[in-house]
Amino acid sequence: MAETILVTGGCGFIGTNFVRHMLGKYDYHIINLDKLTYAGNLENLQDITGDDRYTFVKGDIADTADLERVFERTIDVIVNFAAESHVDRSIIDPDAFIKTNINGTFNLLEMARKKKVRRFVQISTDEVYGSLGATGAFREDTPLAPNSPYSASKTSADILAIAYFKTYGMPVLVTRCSNNYGPYQFPEKLIPLMITNALAGMELPVYGDGLNVRDWIHVIDHCAAIDLVLHRGEDGNVYNIGAGKEKTNIDIVRLVLEILGRPESLIRYVKDRPGHDRRYAIDSGKITKNLGFRPSVDFAEGMRQTVQWYVENKGWWERIKTGAYLDYYEKMYGNR
């Protein structure tokens, strides 16, 4: 019988792409446990709901009763994507970040320990390393120095996961990836926010001087790297994941406008994010050397395809950019 993988947060951006990747390549049974927060969208995987290798369960990783219910079935592997993921929201209201990212991961680790799952992959982030100066890159042994409530909560989960390997010998692995872009990303994050605002003829709010640097990877390359870690990674190890595409925010925004053929007059510099990390850059030498990881998507082409996806899926983001989203936007950008 095929093994069962519990994917948490599978209705979010990366989880959606990962579920598709796995069903396209393997014969596993995938259980997608998702709370369906503002960021979780059932529409993302609507077309595979009839696939008998796929089961959706609405539930909260921070709620042990929900986990007990899911674990009535045999789960072989856990890939934990479920998280509150947006730095700006963590600055306004960190509470859910602590509950989901820390307590939720703890509950999952405990359940995995009790049920003796074969493998536990914790999806962490390069933000655990904090901020870089003008040179250098994060390695797996770079000291952890998170700066936002989001990154602090992800760091807590990440080191808790490693502690379960060290203390209980649990088969835990941790991935720390850089900034993702691609289809199905919620339009609160830089790239989809800029694309959808530009398409709607709205201003593009650039924080501070626009010279903060992020290191971009296409989401399908991130999913391929997780697949490698899941199948070939070594227990107790951390793997950085990146594609070596460092860009300033203003260059990203200009590129989006250029692809869409919209004017740069839409750009508006706004008040900076508090505690804004200046630069991220990932050294992914370990996963390259040990697991043979090679990103496959060319950045310029990946960006063109991503912009095209948002052009072709206007209904998807227009349905999101209503109601609670508009309240969030007003609160976040209204007085900036």
- Sequence-ordered alpha helix ranges (H) in the chain: 13-25, 64-70, 87-92, 95-97, 105-115, 149-168, 190-199, 219-232, 249-260, 285-291, 299-312, 314-320, 323-333
> Is residue 189 a contact residue for ligand DAU (CB under 6 A)?
yes
Least Cβ distance, residue 35 to ligand DAU (angstroms): 16
> Is residue 187 a contact residue for ligand NAD (CB under 6 A)?
no
Whether 127 is a known active-site residue: answer yes
Distance, in Å, from the CA atom of 104 to the CA atom of 133, rounded to the nearest integer, reads: 33
Name the DSSP class of 140: T
| Two structure tokens written together for 262 | 């919209």
Whether 221 is a known active-site residue: answer no
| Two structure tokens written together for 288 | 């390259």
> Is residue 60 a contact residue for ligand NAD (CB under 6 A)?
yes
Q: Quick one: angle between helices 190-199 and 249-260, nearest 10?
A: 30
> Is residue 19 a contact residue for ligand NAD (CB under 6 A)?
no
> Is residue 15 a contact residue for ligand NAD (CB under 6 A)?
yes
> Is residue 9 a contact residue for ligand NAD (CB under 6 A)?
yes
> Is residue 190 a contact residue for ligand DAU (CB under 6 A)?
yes
39 binds, among ligand DAU, ligand NAD, none (CB under 5 to 8 A by kind): ligand NAD
Cα→Cα distances 29→114, 190, 191, 314, Å: 21, 33, 32, 31
Residue 96 CA to chain centroid, in angstroms? 16
- DSSP assignment of 38-78 equals TT--GGGGGGGTT-TTEEEEE--TT-HHHHHHHTTS---EE
Q: Which is nearer to ligand NAD, 214 or 254 (CB)?
A: 214
Name the DSSP class of 112: H
Token pair 């592997």: residue: 77
Least Cβ distance, residue 278 to ligand NAD (angstroms): 17
**Which one of the listed residues 127, 188, 221, 227 is annotated catalytic?**
127
Tell me the per-residue interface mask from 213 to 232 with ligand DAU, x by CB under 6 A, - otherwise. -x------------------
Least Cβ distance, residue 26 to ligand DAU (angstroms): 26
Q: Which is nearer to ligand DAU, 69 or 278 (CB)?
A: 278
* Contacts (CB under 6 A) with ligand DAU, residues 52-111: 85-87
Q: How many C-beta atoms surround the C-beta of residue 336 within 10 A?
A: 12
87 binds, among ligand DAU, ligand NAD, none (CB under 5 to 8 A by kind): ligand DAU
Least Cβ distance, residue 180 to ligand DAU (angstroms): 7
Q: Are strands 246-248 and 213-218 parallel, antiparallel or unpaired?
A: antiparallel
> Is residue 279 a contact residue for ligand DAU (CB under 6 A)?
no
> Is residue 192 a contact residue for ligand NAD (CB under 6 A)?
no
Q: What's the length of the chain?
A: 336
Torsion (CA) 129, 141, 163, 90 in degrees, nearest 10: 10
| Two structure tokens written together for 16 | 């959606």
Which residues does 74 contact at the CB level (< 8 Å), separation at least 6? 4
Which residues does 115 contact at the CB level (< 8 Å), separation at least 6? 71, 75
**Which one of the listed residues 54, 150, 184, 310 is annotated catalytic?**
150
Q: Which is nearer to ligand NAD, 2 or 155 (CB)?
A: 155
Least Cβ distance, residue 238 to ligand DAU (angstroms): 15
Least Cβ distance, residue 192 to ligand DAU (angstroms): 8
* Contacts (CB under 6 A) with ligand DAU, residues 114-133: 125-127
**Which one of the listed residues 34, 126, 221, 246 is annotated catalytic?**
126
Are the C-beta atoms of 30 and 5 separated by less than 8 Å? yes
Q: Which is nearer to ligand DAU, 87 or 162 (CB)?
A: 87
Considering only 207, 299, 309, 328, the residue that binds ligand DAU (CB under 6 A) is 207
Give the residues lining the site for ligand DAU (CB under 6 A).
85-87, 125-127, 178-179, 189-190, 193, 205-207, 212, 214, 249, 273, 280
| Residues catalogued as catalytic | 126-127, 150
